[in-house]
Amino acid sequence: MSYEEFKKKMESKQAVVGVIGLGYVGLPLAVAFAEAGYRVVGFDIDTTKIDSLLKGESYVLDVESEKIKEVLDKENFLPTSDFSKIRDVDSISICVPTPLRKTKEPDISYVINAVSEIKRYFHRDLLIILESTVYPGTTEEIIKTELEKIGYKGGEDFYLCFSPERIDPGNKKYALKNTPKVIGSITKKSSKLAYLLYSKIAETIVIVSSPRVAETVKLLENVFRAVNIACVNELAMMCERMGIDIWEVIEAASTKPFGFMPFYPGPGIGGHCIPLDPQYLAWKAKAYNFYSRFIELASDINANMPRYVVAKIIEVLNSYKKCINDSHVLILGVAYKKDVNDIRESPSLEIYKMLKEYGAIVEYNDPYVKEFRDEKGDVIRSVILDYNNLRKYEYVVLCTDHSCYDYAEIAKRAELIIDTRNAFKGIESKNIYKLGTPVY
């Protein structure tokens, strides 16, 4: 197939689109392509996910089961664990996890495994787009180099791009369609093909000069957030000591119409992006004898916020002549952010663990997270939130500010509240102690 024929196939939606990894990034992408009129093959090694999708059941909060049923009924979407079907696709987007090892080194084994499957069933005229967050250079070093080792030429036999995912789980305002899509490719032809494909599902396409630039775009976005969150977390600790309410400070500073963007303190950072992505950039920079002090400092401050929250809990209890050991506590929210069911890197889990280590009797409620496994592998289940029975707990710790909680009712009925998110804003009560405000 000539390049011109490939372009026409992509533009006319005759191309078959593949997506490897059907998690919170890959599944919305696959469904978006299917809704746009492409035939989509979704690949995942987790057969329970495939079984769920074949039944029309979604496990991703931002993708309704009804949408899965619709694209299945139209025969536009085929979920499968059979990677030999790579032979049938014209493009393939890689949306697999890229976690950190315990040593804080990037773990790109999922990307490597995906590339191994592509090599195994490779055919010419294949557009490959990596969406997983990686360090600068990965697209060319891991994909281009590996395919060229087996005799194929990038830009001729296959086309290669990096396009960072910008999914914000639970965001009702910005989704795949109205969030600009950045694309960096190894050749102009690769850029054009990716543009023709992604312009069918995204309103704005931003073409940059190379995959390395696109890879760094994603990392910069989350370094920016991590550093600014760390800054306001440190200011929150400072304001507590100085007897100043950080939330009032931020609200007043936000009235400035230029030169200021509000960030808010909290119990720590969670999710897949902010805690991990900056470490990818810091790790890669060391290969160039460059040490990113801002990234390392921000990581230290944010990682220690759960410990700071527990220290504040101890201080509050001490002011009431209470002991944390054998105290009965209810944690509200264990998801890493409001109105989602994702607990990856959630600071709430670290707070839960530390309270247990101090001898507290800990229960939690989260309407989005019915259960989780602790470090021992034991299943910990969410308890029913009975507003009338909150007095059974000596204190309540608000870790995740889900919209469904009745904060006025909690304030009225709980004995003590430690609020890490300013969720009780505007509620006057002497029993509420906020992160970033003095105890005494």
Are 184 and 261 in a shared domain? no
- Whole-number Å distance between alpha carbons of 162 and 82: 24
Q: Are residues 48 and 110 in the same domain?
A: yes
pLDDT confidence band for 167 (50 / 70 / 90): confident
**264 occurs within a structural domain:** yes
Q: Phi-psi region for residue 407, left (φ > 0), alpha (ψ -120 to 50) or beta?
A: alpha
On whether both 282 and 141 belong to a single domain, the answer is no
For 411-420, how does the pLDDT look when each residue is reduced to its tens digit (9 = 90+)? 999 999 999 9
Domain interval for residue 27: 3-209
Give the per-residue pLDDT at 169.
83
In a domain, 219, yes or no: no
**pLDDT at position 272, please?**
84
Q: Do 121 and 260 have their domain in common?
A: no
Count of structural domains, the chain:
2
Whether 190 maps to a domain, the answer reads: yes
pTM over 0.85: yes
> Exposed, middle or buried by CB within 10 Å (0-12, 13-18, 19+), for 249?
middle
145 and 59 part of one domain:
yes
Assess whether 53 and 149 both reside in one domain. yes
> Do 205 and 304 fall into the same domain?
no
Q: What is the pLDDT of residue 61?
A: 86
Judgement on whether residues 198 and 257 belong to the same structural domain of the protein: no
* Together in a domain, 90 and 152: yes
* CB-based burial, 154-164: b 16+ in 10 Å, e otherwise: beeebbbbbbb
Query: Residues 194, 85: one domain?
Result: yes
- Is 307 in contact with 340 (CB distance < 8 Å)? no
The domain boundary, picked from 209, 232, 252, lies at 209
Rounded to whole angstroms, how far apart are CA atoms 58 and 64? 6
Distance CA 234, CA 216 (A): 26
Which residues are tagged catalytic? 273
**Looking at the structure, do residues 164 and 109 belong to the same domain, yes or no?**
yes
DSSP code at position 391: G
Is 216 a domain residue?
no
- Give 262-308 pLDDT, tens digit per residue: 999 999 999 888 889 999 999 999 999 999 999 999 999 999 999 99
Cα angle, residue 273 at apex, residues 45 and 203 outer, rounded to 5°? 85
Q: Is the pLDDT score of 440 beyond 80?
A: no
CATH number at residue 175: 3.40.50.720
For residues 35 and 51, what is the distance between their CA atoms, to the nearest angstrom?
A: 21
Give the chain's mean pLDDT. 95
Rounded CA separation 322/342 (Å): 33
In the three-class reduction of DSSP (H, G, I as helix; E, B as strand; rest coil), residue 285 is classed as: helix
Of 160, 194, 209, which residue is a domain's last? Answer: 209
CA atoms within 13 A on the CB side of 13: 14
Query: Hunting for tokens 């009804």 — which residue is that?
Result: 66
| Assigned domain for 236 exists | no
Q: Considering the domain boundaries, does residue 140 fall inside one?
A: yes
Q: Is residue 230 part of a domain?
A: no
Decide if pLDDT at 422 tops 80: yes
Same domain, 296 and 205: no
Residue 340, sorted as left (phi over 0), alpha (psi -120 to 50) or beta, turns out to be beta
Do residues 268 and 302 lie in contact, with contact meaning Cβ atoms separated by under 8 Å?
Answer: yes
| Domain contains 440 | no
The last residue of one of the domains, among 191, 209, 227, is: 209
| Across 144-165, average pLDDT | 95
